[in-house]
Amino acid sequence: VRVKESGGGLVHSGDSRTLSCTISGVDFENAAMGWFRHHPGPGREREGVSCITSDDMAYYLDSVKGRFTIDRDNAKSTLILEMNDLKPEDTGLYFCARRATCGESVVRQTLNVLDGWGQGTMVTVSS
């Protein structure tokens, strides 16, 4: 399994950014997929940000609802995260991964990730 995230960068509060993730070696079309982030700083944990099921049901962390949109392009095995109205607290290293489960109650969880982690793409939001 190969995962490649891209699209990160340095932005200002209120800006938008779109992240992409290509993944190979899995049955992407029939997989639940998710975006995760790891905030910088000691003691911070990785958290799920959003996930999307194989039938395109999308779920979001409360703090990003209304600002982030997850989407998938099965033909290109690509996962997208459109981020609007970015805030400094959105700063972090963003990862995508295949998930065993995706739903409202598990969107934040990281234990159900399959295949391990890629390198991630860093998003830094300045105030």
pLDDT of residue 43: 85
**26: DSSP letter:** S
3-state secondary structure of 79: strand
Q: To the nearest 5 percent, what fractions of the chain are helix, strand and coil?
A: 10, 50, 40
Helix or strand run (H / E) with residue 127: none
**pLDDT confidence bin for 44, thresholds 50/70/90:** confident
pLDDT in tens, 74-101: 999 999 999 999 999 999 999 999 999 9
- Please give the Cα distance from 81 to 97 (Å, whole number): 12
